[in-house]
């Protein structure tokens, strides 16, 4: 997971930059996760590696602000991708069921935000609300609440 979300994202993005600079306008869409906004018990490596993608993308966007390249980052919440994921979302209870979005919804938001040049793209109202909560709740409260939700999935 660290190789994918840290090493691969940074090396591939850097490898593409010389080519992207030759185009009149270029966009890079990196996919992080809403999980990047805070620590999550029972999923410790995932949010940490996705936090790298978020902060890497934001920092690189600032570095490239005077170029033709715009770096955007997608922060989807839970998505209904396959039977295994849907089963884990069910174990999370009503929160997992209510906050999950379809892959199509996330993709439409990503493309729309990418074309508009948004720095951060958060698909769906539930994900936007959860991002707000993760920003304002004290970390101890966030850890308690998310720990209760994700412990169900781990059992």
Among 29, 35, 42, 53, CA closest to 109: 29
Among 47, 56, 64, CA closest to 10: 56
Q: In the β-sheet with 69-74, what is the strand arrangement from edge to edge?
A: 26-31, 69-74, 120-121
Q: Which residue in 17, 27, 43, 46 is the catalytic one?
A: 46
d(CA 59, CA 140): 27
E strand or H helix that includes residue 20? helix 9-20
Burial of 49 (0-12, 13-18, 19+ CB in 10 A): buried
Is the distance from CB of 42 to CB of 147 less than 8 angstroms? Answer: yes
Q: Is 150 a residue of the active site?
A: no
Active-site residue set: 46
């Amino acid at each position: 997971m660290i190789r994918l979300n840290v090493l691969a994202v940074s090396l591939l993005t850097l490898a593409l930059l010389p080519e992207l600079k030759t185009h009149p306008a270029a966009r890079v869409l990196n996919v992080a996760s809403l999980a990047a906004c805070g620590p999550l018990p029972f999923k410790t490596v995932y949010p940490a590696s996705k936090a790298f993608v978020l902060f890497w993308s934001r920092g690189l966007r600032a570095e490239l602000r005077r170029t033709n390249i715009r770096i955007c980052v997608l922060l989807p919440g839970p998505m209904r991708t396959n039977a295994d994921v849907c089963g884990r979302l069910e174990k999370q209870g009503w929160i997992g069921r209510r906050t999950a979005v379809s892959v199509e919804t996330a993709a439409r938001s990503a493309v729309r935000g990418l074309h508009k040049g948004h720095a951060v793209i958060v698909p769906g109202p539930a994900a936007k609300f959860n991002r707000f909560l993760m920003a304002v709740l004290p970390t101890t409260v966030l850890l308690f609440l998310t720990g209760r939700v994700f412990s169900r999935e781990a059992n």
